[in-house]
Amino acid sequence: MTQKHDLYSMTDVELEEYFLSLGEPKFRAKQVFPRLAEGTPLSEMTNLSKKLRERLEEETLDTLPRVEAKLVSKVDGTIKYLFRLHDGECVESVFMRYKHGNTLCISSQVGCRMGCKFCASTIGGRVRDLLPSELLGQVIAASRDTGERVSNIVMMGIGEPLDNFDNVVKFLKLVNLPGGLNIGYRHISLSTCGVVTGIDKLAEVDIPITLSISLHAATDEKRSAIMPVNNKWKIKDLLEACVRYYKRTGRRISFEYTLISGKNDTEADARELADLLNSYFRPISAPIHVNLIRVNEVKETGFKQGSTEQANAFAALLEKRGITATVRRRLGSDVNAACGQLRRNTANSGENKD
């Protein structure tokens, strides 16, 4: 069988080339591209002839994710989606409403191979990378389902985005296209556990998104104990890459710090973190921000959450040392919004049935 084409992974220009290759006029791309971005199925594109629609359905892969399950938070309206992909795999996205617009947290891989000890997404390892169309498709599907525009994207769902570099960069270009979803780069954040080669490559592609680094510890000993990636790239390697990224892009860098009770959440940890960050970013006057997250308890990991008061005290200690820090508000706490938990639970219930 010849390989099927993936329309949602194509830019408007690539779509024009595809139609030309079918012997169709170039302007077909203008008829189709915006409709794909709305999530209109090919069968409903009545601005095309029935014959062309049928040909497209036959020759292309339907990579738009389907809503497999949907949990709506009673507390704040946050929606957690479990999306089914064309090969039967599942990923999660979370739709959050903020004053400044709707934010969608998307997944970048099916599973993850980074092995962070506190994270549910990595438990079964990495199954596969998501295609550009499947990254984009999460945004399209959530927008179509809610009837609302997604104005901000955070790549903080399942997977390590810099472990799927080419597809992620293609997605970032696609989602930014004016004739498509037209989401500005400044409204997109990408979170990484610290893939240094990926950070350097990202600095070179000239896509001014916000980089977010999952740091979670201020010493190599503590970080390596919870994040295996730290055995490959030490904190020094990671922060030096952040300095290069800042020098090249001028963009503020965010740091994620998950507070785990008894592991990394003491006053001494806060002081060490502040001193560490100040030693790299003060000399170059680089703006940074620390997001503190109280760990979401995942059954399999056994890590415990500390109190809100302790998290606030940790933030205050950072502030005192000149580092802006916020304790992340937890949206959707009643819908299992911690990354990877819904997919895991689905997998577990499948196992239980056998």
Per-residue binding string, ligand SAH, 19-58, x by CB under 6 A, is ----------------------------------------
CB of 122 to ligand SAH, least distance (A): 8
Query: Residue 7 or residue 290: which is nearer to ligand SAH going by CB?
Result: 290
Question: Which two three-digit tokens encode residue 69?
Answer: 């399950």
The single residue of 16, 24, 92, 256 carrying the catalytic annotation is 92
50-56-60 Cα angle (round to 5): 155
Q: How many CA atoms does the CB half-sphere of 337 hold within 13 Å? A: 24
Say if CB 128 and CB 110 are below 8 A apart. yes
Residue of 293, 315, 325, 342 interacting with ligand SAH (CB under 6 A): 293
Q: Which of the stretches 1-9, 16-24, 44-52, 111-119 binds ligand SAH when contact is defined by CB under 6 A? A: 111-119
Question: Which two three-digit tokens encode residue 66?
Answer: 């389907």
| CA-based max dimension of the chain | 69
Q: Which of the stretches 48-56, 265-273, 291-299, 343-351 binds ligand SAH when contact is defined by CB under 6 A? A: 291-299
CB of 33 to ligand SAH, least distance (A): 29
Composition of the chain by helix, strand, coil, percent to 5? 45, 20, 40
* Amino acid (1-letter code) at residue 136: L
Q: Which position has the token pair 């408007």? A: 12
Residue 249 is a binding residue for ligand SAH (CB under 6 A): no
Q: What's the DSSP call for residue 238?
A: H
Residue 135 is a binding residue for ligand SAH (CB under 6 A): no
Residue 188 is a binding residue for ligand SAH (CB under 6 A): no
Name the 3-class secondary structure at 154.
Answer: strand
The single residue of 90, 193, 242, 339 carrying the catalytic annotation is 339
Contact positions with ligand SAH (CB under 6 A) in 189-218: 191-193, 214
Backbone angles phi, psi at 293, to 5 degrees: -125, 125
CB of 102 to ligand SAH, least distance (A): 19
Residue of 10, 338, 342, 344 interacting with ligand SAH (CB under 6 A): 338
Residue 274 is a binding residue for ligand SAH (CB under 6 A): no
Residues in binding contact with ligand SAH, number by CB under 6 A: 18
Question: Which two three-digit tokens encode residue 144?
Answer: 């179509």
Question: Which two three-digit tokens encode residue 350?
Answer: 């499948």
Residue of 296, 335, 342, 343 interacting with ligand SAH (CB under 6 A): 296
The two beta strands, 152-155 and 253-259, are: unpaired
- Based on the residue annotation, tell me whether 339 is a catalytic residue of this protein: yes
Query: Residue 18 or residue 118: which is nearer to ligand SAH going by CB?
Result: 118
Distance CA 92, CA 157 (A): 7
Distance CA 170, CA 151 (A): 19
Name the 3-class secondary structure at 168.
Answer: helix
Contact positions with ligand SAH (CB under 6 A) in 149-168: 156, 160
Neighbours of 351 (CB within 10 A): 7
CB of 118 to ligand SAH, least distance (A): 5
Q: What's the DSSP call for residue 163?
A: G
CB of 72 to ligand SAH, least distance (A): 21
Point out which residues bind ligand SAH (CB under 6 A). Answer: 114, 116, 118-119, 156, 160, 191-193, 214, 256, 258, 293, 295-296, 298, 338-339
Active site (catalytic) residues: 92, 339
